[in-house]
Amino acid sequence: MSVRIYNGFELVGLTLETALDALRKLREPARLQACRLTAREVLHMAVTQFDAVSLQVPTVPEVAPNGNHLFEAALRLRDIQDEVVRTGRRNPRIDTSLSVCLIPTQGRLLGVAYGENPAMLQVLKACPAYRELPYWDGTEAPEDVSDAEWAARKALWQSALPQWGAPGEFGLSYDLVPDWALLCLTAECADALDPDEMPPLARRAANMAHELLDADQLDGVAAPQKVSDACRLLESPLWAQACARVAERLNPNLSLDDLRGQPAPALKATCTFIPDA
């Protein structure tokens, strides 16, 4: 059986009791980080929608030219998050949930982190007691880990997970940002919108060039019929010229007010995220 504990870690010097106290203190930073990431995703979706409406791209959901693109983007994001919660199929781009499983063994406290977004794992790594302790087999160990240390790490994880069973069978699971909180974060992210997170004009132009190409409406460029043709196109001067032409048609000074358009009702939360005191 293949073993892959990529997000394994140790909380050095902590007991299960003191570790729970440390994790409780991380819940609010984790929620704020999740809210910032959600707000950025809403912002980027709204920008794509605004640009698509401006260019009359037919492949993007229709929104009135003066509509509230932030509100519409939040609704669409919440639908995607709802699917993640219902189906359990992860989506790294929008999944900001974070949980851990703590496993005491041999007088030490190991843990496995569960999170699709690398930025969320940084919250956990901010804990002073945190030390990365991954293990896997089938491929070589990291270059900075000696063979002896790698073998010791294998033995340690085997003691924590007899027969390489699932961590949840031997440890205590703790949610910093649970799955169901994703729906709450979309409703709460309005105050976290940051104009500095606006995607640059070059990226916006490239996004719209892709949308126009899919609709066979990119001036001077025919839609490729093969993947190999598409790869060559993206590396060619023709693509760079097409993106430059698209950029000239976009609003270079896009603001949050432009994205808000007409006032929209507040996005009602379907639940309330209450961090531990």
String of DSSP letters for 179-198: TTHHHHHHHHGGGG--GGGS
Q: In this predicted structure, what is the pLDDT of residue 272?
A: 43
Q: Which residues lie below 8 Å from residue 256, measured CB to CB, with a gap of 6+? A: 70, 193, 195
Q: How many residues does the chain have?
A: 277
Q: In the chain, which ranges are E strands? A: 4-5, 8-11, 98-105, 108-114, 130-132, 135-136, 172-177
CB 218 within 8 A of CB 56: no
The CA–CA distances, whole Å, from 16 to 30, 108, 115, 163 equal: 20, 9, 21, 23
- pLDDT digits (tens), the chain, 277 positions: 568 899 999 999 999 999 999 999 999 999 999 999 999 999 999 999 999 988 988 766 666 555 788 888 888 888 888 887 788 787 887 889 999 999 999 999 999 999 989 999 999 999 999 999 999 987 788 899 999 999 999 999 999 998 888 888 899 999 999 987 877 777 778 788 999 999 999 999 999 999 998 888 888 888 888 888 888 988 999 999 999 999 999 999 999 999 987 554 555 544 444 444 4
Q: In this predicted structure, what is the pLDDT of residue 262?
A: 59
- Distance in angstroms (rounded) separating the CA atoms of residues 242 and 219: 7
Of 68, 15, 16, 23, the C-alpha closest to 42 is 68
- Distance in angstroms (rounded) separating the CA atoms of residues 190 and 169: 39
